[in-house]
Structure 1
Amino acid sequence: MSTALALCFAMVLDALFGEPKWLWDRVPHPAVLMGRLIGWADTRFNRGPGRKAKGVVLMAALVIGAAALGLVLRQIPLIEVLLGAILLAQKSLIDHVKAVTRGLETSLDAGRHAVSMIVGRDTSDMDKPAVARGAIESAAENFSDGVIAPAFWFLIAGLPGILVYKVVNTGDSMIGYRTERHRDFGWAAARLDDVLNLIPARLTALLLFPWGKPLSLWREIVTEAHRHRSPNAGWPEAALSRSLGVALSGPRAYHGEMRDYPWVNPEGREATTRDIDAACVRLWAAWAFVLICVAILSFA
C-alpha cells in the first residue's frame, strides 16, 4: 500500500471515529504516552547546569526513537493506517470546537468552561465574543498542527514521519515555553516544532484562504502572520479570520496577567456562535480538499 493511500484511509477513519472515549479510558493514547515520557524527562533532567544541552539531547533521542519505532511498526500490516488515524485529530478538533457553541447556547459560564478545554488563556472574565474568538483561533491553529502538519509529515515519511512530528509537537506543548523553568530546557523542542510546522502552517493558510476574494488579501495575511507572536500560528488564524470576516487574537490574560497582543483582521466584526459553526464547516471543506488531493496522489 502506498503512503498516500494509507493516509487516505487514516483520514477517513479519523473523520468517522475520532477518539472514542471507551477506548482511551481503557488504554493510554500514544500522545499520552509521549507526554508521560517527556514529563518524566522534564522532572529528571531539567535542573542544574547545561539545561539547554540536556533539552537538545532529549529531543534528539525522542526524534531518533520515534523514527526507529515507526520503521519497525510500519512492517505490521495496517498498523500504519490505524496509527495514522489515531494521530490525526480532525473529528476530535471539530467536536471540541462545537462544544463551545453548545456551551454558549446554554450560558456564558458553560461557554467559558468549554473553551477552557482548548485554550491556554484565562477564561473566567471572557465575554461571549471573546469565548467565540478563542474557539475560532483554536480551530485554526489546531487544524494546522493537529491535522495538516501530521498529514503532511505522514505523506512525506509515512509512520516514522508522523510519529516524529507528534513527539516534537507534544514536547513543544509541554516544555516549549519561555518561562524561567523551560526557557533553556524547552528551547530545542520549541525551535524544532517551529521548523516542522513551517510548511504546514502556510499550506493551512492557503487551504483556509477565502477563495473568490481579491488576492490582495493574501498580502494582509502575510503581514499579520509575520506580526503574530508565533512564527506559524498567525498564518491559519489570519486566513480563517478573512474567510469568516471576524477579528481574532487581541489582548488576553494568562495567569492573571494581561498581554496586549495585536488584533488579527482588526476591521472584522465580533465573533459569534454562528462564526464558530462556520469555522467548523470551513475546516471540513479544507479537510475534504486535502483528502481529494491525497487520493489523486495515491493513484498517480
Structure 2
Amino acid sequence: MILILSMLLDAAFGEPKQLWDRVPHPAVLMGRLVGWCDQRFNQGAGRKAKGVAVAAGLVVTGLAIGWLIHLIPDHGALEVLTLAILIAQKSLVEHVRAVAQGLRQSLDQGRRAVAMIVGRDTAQMTGPDVARAAIESAAENLSDGVVAPIFWYLVLGLPGIFAYKLVNTADSMIGHLTPKYRDFGWASARLDDVLNLIPARLTALLIALTHGWVDPAPILRDAPKHRSPNAGWPESALAPVLNVALSGPRSYNGMRKDYPWVWPEGRRDPGADDIDAAADALWRVWAVLLAFAVVIALF
C-alpha cells in the first residue's frame, strides 16, 4: 500500500518547487555528500582503493538512513512521502515533454531544453538530434529513476532505495572515464552497473510488453552495442516501438563520437511528436508498475 500511495503522490504532485525552494531536495543532499567525498578523498596515492571505500560507505550510509526511518514509530506517512520524493516519474515526464514543447517553438528552444537532461554537446544539434537525445534520456532515466528505485524498494525497503540512489548519484558525478575519476570513480560506476543489471532489462521488457512488441531479437542485437552495459536495454526496446533510430553520432566536449545506431531500420528524422510518444511510453510502464504494486498489496 505504501508503494501505491507513493506512486500516486508522485504522479499527482511531482516535484513541488515551492518546497524545494525552502529546503534542500534529498538528491541535492546526496550530491553534496558525494561532492564532499570527492574533495576529501580524490587526491594523492591509492585513489582506486579510496574510491572502493567511498562506494562501500555510500551503501552503508543509504542502508542506515532507511533503517533509521523504519525505526521511527508510526513512520508510514514519512515512508510514503520519502518514497514519492525518490521516484522521479512525473519530473522525468515533464523534462522530456519540455523538450518537445521547446522544439515546436524553435530549434534553439529545443536545444536549451534538452541540455537540461543530457550531457552531450547541444549547440550544433539538428532537430532530429534534439529529439533523439530526449528519447534516449527518457529511456535511460525510466530505468535509473523509476524502475530501479521501485525494484530496490521492493527488495530491501527504504534501505534499498536509499543505497541505490546514493550509488546512482555517485556514478553520475564521479563515475567517468576521465583522468580525474578513472580510478576514484571506478567502484561507484561498476557498483551502479551491478545494481542496474536487473532493472534495465526489466525496463526493456516492460516497454516491449506495454506496446505489444514480442520480438526480442532487435533488443538482443542492439542492446550490447551501447557503451553502457545497461542503458542500451531500455533504448533498444523504445526505439522499435517508436520506429526511431537512436544513438548514432554525437559530440561530447567538442569530440565527435560515432556510436552505432540502435534500431538502424527506424526513421532518422524524429521530431516533437516522437518525444511525446516516448513520454506516453513512460506512463504506460508506470501504469504496469502501479498495477503490480496493487497485486502485491492484495496478495
After TM superposition, the score normalised by the length of structure 1 is 0.96
- Following superposition, the deviation at residue 84 of structure 1 comes to 0.5
- Separation of aligned partners in 2, 1:154 and 1:214: 28
What do residues 60-114 of structure 1 show as CA deviations (whole Å, max 9, x unaligned)?
Answer: 1111111011101123322211110000000000000000011011110000000
Q: Equivalent residue of 1:74, what SS?
A: helix
Q: Aligned residue for 1:95?
A: 94
Q: Which runs of 5+ in 1 are unaligned?
A: none
Across the aligned residues of Structure 1 and Structure 2, the Cα RMSD in angstroms comes to: 1.1
Task: Supply the distance in 2 between the matched residues of 1:212 and 1:278 (Cα, whole angstroms).
Answer: 11
* Distance (whole Å) between structure 1 residues aligned to residue 61 and residue 276 of structure 2: 39
Secondary structure in structure 1 of the residue aligned to 2:256: strand
Which 4+ residue blocks in structure 1 deviate beyond 6 angstroms?
none
Tell me if structure 1 keeps the 8 A contact 2:211–2:241: no
The size of the alignment, in residue pairs, is: 295
How far the C-alpha of 1:213 sits from its partner, in A, is 5.5
Identify the residue that residue 14 of structure 2 maps to in structure 1. 18
In the other structure, the counterpart of 1:117 is: 116
Instruction: Point out where structure 2 has 5 or more consecutive residues left out of the alignment.
Output: none
Which residue among 206, 222, 225 is the counterpart of 2:223? 225
> Does structure 1 retain, via aligned residues, the 8 Å contact 2:120–2:250?
yes
Equivalence for 2:53: 57
Counterpart in the other structure of 2:200: 201
Q: What is the aligned partner in structure 2 of residue 75 from structure 1? A: 71
Partners of 1:210 and 1:242 within 8 A in 2: no
The reply to whether residue 31 of structure 1 matches residue 27 of structure 2 is yes
C-alpha distance in 1 between matches for 2:110 and 2:162: 33
- Look up the match of 1:175: 174
Contact 1:14 1:85 in 2 (8 A): yes
TM-score with structure 2 setting the length:
0.96
Indicate the residue corresponding to 2:244 in structure 1: 246
One of 255, 260, 263 as aligned partner of 1:262: 260
The amino acid across from 1:188 in the alignment is A
Q: How does 1:266-285 map to 2 (within 5 A)?
A: 266-269=264-267, 270-285=269-284
* Percent of residue pairs bearing the same amino acid type: 61
Which residue, out of 39, 44, 48, partners 2:44? Answer: 48
Question: How do residues 116-155 of structure 1 correspond to structure 2 at under 5 angstroms?
Answer: 116-155=115-154
Q: Measured at CA, do residues 181 and 128 of structure 1 come closer, stay the same or move farther in structure 2, by a change above 3 Å?
A: same
* Structure 1 residues 122 and 69, CA gap change in structure 2 (3 angstroms): same
Quote the offset at 1:214 in angstroms. Answer: 6.3
CA deviations on 1:14-46 (whole Å, 9 max, x unpaired) are 111111111111111111101111111111110
Matched AA of 1:297? I
